[in-house]
A and B are shown apart, each in its own frame.
Chain A
Amino acid sequence: MKALLLALFSVAAFAGEALTGAVEKQPLNMSAIIMFLIFVGATLGITYWAAKRTKTAKDFYTAGGGITGFQNGMAIAGDYMSAASFLGISALVYGKGYDGLIYSIGFLVGWPIILFMVAEQLRNLGKYTFADVASYRLQQTPIRTLAAFGSIVTVILYLIAQMVGAGKLIQLLFGLDYEIAVILVGVLMILYVTFGGMLATTWVQIIKAFLLLSGATFMAIAVMAHYNFNFESLFATAVQMKDVSIMAPGKLVSDPISAISLGIALMFGTAGLPHILMRFFTVSDAKEARKSVFYATGFIGYFYILTFIIGFGAIVMVFQNPQYLDLAKQAVDGGYPILGGDNMAAIHLSHAVGGDFFLGFISAVAFATILAVVSGLTLAGASAISHDLYASVIKKGKTDGLMEMKVSKVATVILGIVAIYLGIAFEEQNIAFMVGLAFAIAASANFPILFLSMYWSKLTTRGALIGGSIGLLTAAVLVVLGPTVWVDFLKHADPIFPYKYPALFSVTAAFVSIWFFSITDRSENSRKEKEGYEAQFIRSQTGIGAEGAVEH
C-alpha cells in the first residue's frame, strides 16, 4: 500500500510541472481530455460496483464464473486487441504494407486451434489458472512452479509492450512526459485489479472492445469513402506515395524457417497466453467457452481487416503530410518521419479523417485499450503468484480464499510497479515485435505442457518439468542471441542465432524432451500419474465433476 501511495503521490507531484512545460509544445486537446476523463470515471465507477460484488476468491479470479459466451468473446477480443495490435500492426502496414497483413493473420489463426483443442477442456478441468489443468494429475509443486514462472515471464514481456505504447500515446496526446504517462497507466491498472478483480477487468475489456471496434470501423469507412469504396484506387494512391513493394510480401518472412517459426510462435503462443487462458474460467460451462471463441475470432478477424485498411489509409493521408511530419527528425535523418514514430500512424490518421474531436476519441480509446489489456495481464500474473505459487506451492493448499486474494492484491501492486519500471526502460523498442517474444515463450513452455497434459496419457511430472524448462530456456536464450535482442537491443554487430523467431526450435525441443523424459520415467509416481489420465480425460471430455470443482 505504501508503494501505491508513493506512486500516486509522485504522479500528482510531477503532473503539474510536466503539463505546464508541455502545453507550449502540444496544444491541449480538450475533447481528448474530456473523453479520457469520462472513460476513467466510468471504469472507476465499474470498479467500485465490481468491488462490492467481489467477496470470494472465485469472484476475484473468475468474476464468479457467470460471464456469458458472447460477453466473454467480447472480453477476449478486448484482451487480445492490444495497443500493440492496433498501433503496432497498423504501423507495420503503414511502414511495410502487405507484411503487416501477414503478421496480423498469424495472430488470428491460433484461435480456431484453441477452440478445437483446448477451450472446452480447459473449462472442464480448470478452476482459476491454466496451471490447474497442467498439474491436474501431476505433482503440484514442480509443475505449478514452472507454469507460474512461464506465466509471469509471458505477462511481463507483454506488459512492457503495452506500457511503451501507453507512454508514447499519452506523450503525443497530452504532451505529458513519457515516464508520467507510464506511471499513470500503472496506477489505474492497479486500482482496477486490486479493487474490482476479474469482474471489473472483464467489463473494462468489453467496453473497450466495443469502443475500439466502433472507432476502427469509422476510420476504415472514412478512408474508403475518400476512394468511393474502391480498394484499387486506395492501393494505387498508396503505391504512388511509397512504391509498389508495399503490395507484395516483403522481408517479414523471407525464408521457410522463419515462416514456419513465426507461424508456430503465433499459433501455439496464443494457446499459451495465461491471460487469455484464464478467461475460459469466467464462463459457466464448455458450451459457453466454445461460443466465446467463435465470437472472439469474429471480432478479432474483423479488427485485423480494419487495421489493414487503416494502415493503408495512413500511407495515403498521413505519410508525406506536412501536418504530421517530424521536422526536427527529418532535418537529421531525411525521409518522412512522422511525429511520435510509426506507431502513431493510426492516431494521426484519426486526426486526418475526423479532426481534433475524433483524434480525441481514438486517443481515449487507445488509452482505454492499454488499460484493459494491462489489467487482464496483471490479473493473470497476480493469479500465478497467489493461486499457483502462494496457495499451492508454498502453503500446499492449506490456505483460505481470503488470504489468497490478499496475496493476489499485493502481487498486483508489485507487478504494477515492475511494469512501470520496465515500461520506462524499454521506451525505444518496436512494440509489435516485443509481443512476438512473449508469444515464443508462451508457445514453448506453457502450451506444450498444457496440451500434453490433456491429450497424452503417458505424460509424467519429470517429463513436463524438464521438457517445459528446456522449452522456456531455449526460447529465451535464442531470443537473446537472435537479431531482436543481440543486435537491436544490445547493439552487437551480428546475431549469434540467425532467426528472429525461435519457436520452431524451442517448441520442438519442448515436445521432444517432454516425450523423452516422460517415457524414460519409471518411478512409482509416474505410474500413478499415468493411471490418473482416464479420470481426467473423462472429465475433460464431458465436464462431469467440473461443476463441483467450481463451487468451492
Chain B
Amino acid sequence: MKQEMVDRIKNDPDFLHLVKTRSKFAWTLTIVMLVIYFGFVLTIAFDPSILGAPLSAGSVTTVGIPVGVGVIISAFVLTGIYVRRANVEFDELTAKIKSKAKGE
C-alpha cells in the first residue's frame, strides 16, 4: 500500500467510523463472553456447591446442568449477534471505503 493511500484512508471518516464501532462492538462481545465463562469457572472454584445444588427440591438434576448448557448456547448466540451486524453494517462501510480508495 502506498503511503498517500494510507494517509487518505486513515483520515476517511467512514474508516474511522468502521474502526470505532466495530472495535467497540467486538470488545463488548468479547467481554460478555469472558464474564460468562470466567463467572462460570470461578463459581466452580470458589463455591462449587452453588452449581451442585438440586434444580428443584428432591431432583437429581443440579443447577449446574442448565447453567453449563446455557454457557454453550451463549457462545453460539454471541457469534450470531456479531455476524448479523457485521454482514450488513460493517461490510457496507468496508465496501464504501474500498470504492473510495480505488475510485479517487
**Residues of A with Cβ closer than 8 Å to B?**
98, 101-102, 105-106, 108-109, 111-113, 115-117, 120, 231-232, 235-236, 239, 244, 247-250, 253-256, 258-260, 262-263, 267, 286-287, 290-291, 293-294, 297-298, 301, 304-305, 308, 534-535, 538-539, 541-545
Known interface pairs A253-B44, A538-B15, A542-B97; A235-B61 also in contact (CB < 8 Å): yes
A262 to B86, CA, bound (A): 31
In the complex with contacts A248-B49, A249-B48, A538-B15, A111-B79 CB distance below 8 A: yes
Interface residues of B in 37-96 (CB under 8 A from A): 37-38, 40-42, 44-46, 48-49, 51-52, 59-62, 64-65, 68-69, 71-73, 75-76, 78-80, 82-83, 86-87, 91, 94
> Shortest distance in angstroms between B42's beta carbon and chain A's nearest beta carbon?
6
Known contacts: A287-B91, A538-B10. The answer to whether A248 contacts B64 by CB under 8 A is yes
A263 and B37 within 8 A (CB): yes
Cβ-defined contact, B87 with A287, below 8 A = yes
How far apart are A147's CB and chain B's nearest CB, in angstroms?
A: 23
| Main DSSP-derived SS at the A contact region | helix
Q: Are B6 and A293 in contact (CB under 8 A)?
A: no
B9 and A538 contacting across the interface, CB-CB below 8 Å: yes
Interface residues on B, range: 35 or more
The complex places the Cα of A116 from the Cα of B101 at a distance, in Å, of: 25
Contact A105-B71, Cβ < 8 Å, known A247-B64, A538-B6, A542-B9: yes
Q: In the bound complex, how far is the Cα of B73 from the Cα of A111, in angstroms? A: 12
* Interface residues in B1-32 (C-beta closer than 8 Å to A): 1, 3, 6, 9-10, 15, 18-19, 22, 26-27, 29-30
| Chain A residue with Cβ nearest B62 | A247
Residues of chain B within 8 A of A294, CB atoms compared: 79-80, 82-83
User: Known contacts A259-B44, A538-B9; can you find 12 more A-B pairs with CB under 8 A?
Assistant: A98-B65, A102-B40, A108-B72, A111-B75, A113-B34, A115-B83, A120-B86, A256-B46, A263-B37, A263-B38, A297-B75, A541-B15
Closest to B49 in A: A248
Q: Are B78 and A231 in contact (CB under 8 A)?
A: no
Q: Which residues of A contact B48 (CB under 8 A)?
A: 248-250
CB-contact partner of A259 in B33, B34, B42, under 8 A: B42
- Residues in B whose Cβ lies below 8 Å from that of A109: 33, 36-37, 71, 75
Chain B residue at minimum C-beta to C-beta distance from A245? B52
Contact at A98–B10, with CB atoms within 8 Å? no
Asked whether, in the complex, the Cβ of A534 is within 8 Å of the Cβ of B10, the reply is yes
Known: A256-B45, A539-B1. A112 touches B30 (CB 8 A): yes
- Residues of B within 8 Å of A541, CB to CB, are 15, 18-19, 22, 94
List chain A residues, Cβ under 8 A from B45: 253-256, 258-260
Residues of chain A contacted by B52 (CB below 8 angstroms) = 98, 247-249
A231-B65 Cα distance, complex, nearest whole Å: 10
